[in-house]
Amino acid sequence: MKLTGNLLIGAQEVSGTAGRMMALNPVMNVEIEPLFTFGGIEQVDRAVQLADDAFESYNRTSLAVRAALLERIADGLDAITPELARRASLETGLPVAQLEGEAAKSAIQFRQFASVVRQGRFRQATIDPSQPARQPRARMDHRMQKIALGPIAIFGASNFPISYSVAGGDTASALAAGCPVILKAHNGHPGASELMGRVIQQAVSDSGLHEGVFSLLRGAGNEIGEALVDHPLIKGVTFTGSEGGGMALFRRAQRRPDPIPVFTEMTSVNPTFVLPAALAARGAAIGDGFTERMLVTVGQACLKPAILLAVDGPGYLELKNAMMLRVDEMQARTMLTPGINMAYRKNLERQNNAGAVQIAAGGEPHGEWDGQSVLFEVDGACLLDKPTLSEEVFGPAALLVRVEDVEQLIAIARRFRGQLSATMQIDTVDYALAERLLPVLERRTGRIVVNAFAHPQEVSYASIHGGPFPATSDSRFTSVGMSAIERFLRPVCYQGFPDELLPEALQHNNPLGIWRLTDGELSKA
C-alpha cells in the first residue's frame, strides 16, 4: 500500500495545510519518507461535521451490518500485517515479530467486538411492560436500551503502535457501540497510522456506510487535539499517554459549555507485593520473573511492573541478586521516540535525587535514543518519606523496596495512588496477610494478580484495564476487553410507545432474538 502522507477525511484524501513532518527511524536516528501533512482547525471541523452527519444512520445500522464492518476491518488488518509490522518497526524500533503479534491482537479485537455486536447484549434492552390494573396507579410501558454517544475523538497511543493506536481497542469498541470515530494519530508512527487508517476507510466504503464514520487526522503541537476536544459536535474522548497531556484534555472537556466524558489512561507503576513465605520459598524466581517482565518492550508498557516490595528476611538477597543479574545482562535498546527517551533520562535523575540507590545497570547506550536498563533500591521508610519515588518511570527501570515489616508493607500499600494493576506473590502461609492487603489493593487498582507478573492485556469479557486516578480519569470503565464498549453508550427510555415505533431491540416479539431484562428477569422471549 502506497503511503501518501495525506489526512483521511471521510472518503477523501486531504493534504493538510498546517505544516508537515517526516517519520523518524529512532534506531538509525534518520528521517524516513514520505512527508506527512498536518491538519488544522478547518480539517478538524470538516471531519467532525462529517462524523455528525454519519451518526444517526450509523447508530441505527442493523447489528449484522455493523458486525460486518468490524470483520472487514479485521480482514483488512490481516491482509496488510507484514507491511504494517515492518513500517511500525521502522518508526518505533520495536521488533517486527512483536508488532505482527500486535496486528493479530488488533484483528482479534475487531472480530470479538463483531461478536459482541451480534449478541446485542450491549443494548441492555430492559422492558417493564405496562400494568393497566396496578393500584393505586396504572404503570405505563417503559423500555430502555443503550444507544451510542455520538462522534468520538480518539488519541492514538505511542507505545503499542497497532493495538492501542488507529486500529486499537478504542476504535473497535467505539465503532461497535455505533459511534463515528475521528482518530488523532500519534506522530511517533505516522506511516503505520496511515496504513491502518486506509484499511478502516476502505472497510467503511465496502460496507456501504456514510463516509463520516471514520477520519484520520494528524497535527503539530496541541492545536489539533484541543480543537477536537472543544468541538461542540464531539461527544466523547479517549486518550492514552502522559498524565499531563491526559489531564489537560480532561480539564478542557470539563470547561466546555456542554462538558463531555473523557476516558484517559495515563500512568501506573503496577506494584508487586512479595509476601514473606513466597519470598523465602522462591525469592530468586520471583526476582527473575519480575525483571524479565519489567524489561519487555523496553519498559514502555502501561502494565510494566515497576515497583517490587518485599519484607527484608529469608529470600530477599536471592531476589535482589536475581533482579540485578537480569538488569546487568540487558543491552540498551532504542526507545519509542526522542521525547520518551528524554523523559526517561530525566526521571532516572529524579529517582537518584529522591534517594533511590542505583544497584544495577545494563549495557551503555550506543544509539542516540537507546534506553539503558536500571535497577534502584530504597528502603520502605524512604519511600514513605518521598512519594515521588512511587511515580512512573516510563522505560526499562524498576525500584526494589526493602520493607522493614508487614505493618510497613501495608502502610506503603495505603500510600499508592490509583493503579491499573497490582500483584501479590504468595504461598498458603501468606493467606492471612494477603487478606489484609486485599481490601487496600481493591481500593487502588483495577486488577489484582496473584502469583504471576503483569501480563500483556488479555482481551476478554472479564478483562479490566482501568483503575482509580491517575491510572485513568474514570475508574468505572475499562479501555480493554469487551466491556470497553460501555464508555460509548448511554441509556434512553421509551415510554408508552407503539410497537411499530420502538427500536428493534425493544419490540414485543424480540425480532433480534437478544437477551433482555423483562420485569427484572433475563430472557430471550
Residues found near ligand NAP in the complex (CB under 6 A) = 155, 157-159, 184, 186-187, 219, 221-222, 225-226, 240-242, 245, 248-249, 265, 267-268, 302, 339-340, 343, 392, 394
Grid look-up 532516572 returns 348
* Distance from C-alpha of 513 to C-alpha of 506, rounded to nearest angstrom: 10
Peptide bond into 34 cis (omega under 30): yes
114 vs 154 by CB, closer to ligand NAP? 154
* Distance from C-alpha of 5 to C-alpha of 37, rounded to nearest angstrom: 6
Given a contact cutoff of 8 angstroms between Cβ atoms, the answer to whether 123 and 517 are in contact is no
45 vs 312 by CB, closer to ligand NAP? 45
Q: How far is the CB of 400 from ligand NAP (least distance, A)?
A: 20
345 vs 490 by CB, closer to ligand NAP? 345
Q: How far is the CB of 393 from ligand NAP (least distance, A)?
A: 8
* Distance from C-alpha of 351 to C-alpha of 375, rounded to nearest angstrom: 11
Q: How far is the CB of 345 from ligand NAP (least distance, A)?
A: 11
* Distance from C-alpha of 61 to C-alpha of 63, rounded to nearest angstrom: 6
Given a contact cutoff of 8 angstroms between Cβ atoms, the answer to whether 390 and 269 are in contact is yes
302 vs 375 by CB, closer to ligand NAP? 302
Given a contact cutoff of 8 angstroms between Cβ atoms, the answer to whether 111 and 171 are in contact is no
146 vs 186 by CB, closer to ligand NAP? 186
| 61: its cell numbers | 445500522
Residues in Cβ contact with 138 at an 8 Å cutoff, skipping those fewer than 6 apart = 130, 131, 132
Q: How far is the CB of 240 from ligand NAP (least distance, A)?
A: 6
Given a contact cutoff of 8 angstroms between Cβ atoms, the answer to whether 210 and 47 are in contact is no
| 176: its cell numbers | 461497535
Q: Say whether 265 is catalytic.
A: yes
Q: Say whether 302 is catalytic.
A: yes
Of the listed 194, 265, 377, 392, which one is catalytic? Answer: 265
313 vs 339 by CB, closer to ligand NAP? 339
| 372: its cell numbers | 539503558
Per DSSP, the three-state class of 127 is strand
Of the listed 102, 179, 194, 302, which one is catalytic? Answer: 302
148 vs 224 by CB, closer to ligand NAP? 224
Per DSSP, the three-state class of 394 is coil
Is residue 334 within a helix (H) or strand (E), and if so which, with residue range?
A: strand 333-334
Grid look-up 527473575 returns 288
What's the sign of the alpha-carbon dihedral 81, 84, 85, 86? Answer: positive
Active site residues: 265, 302
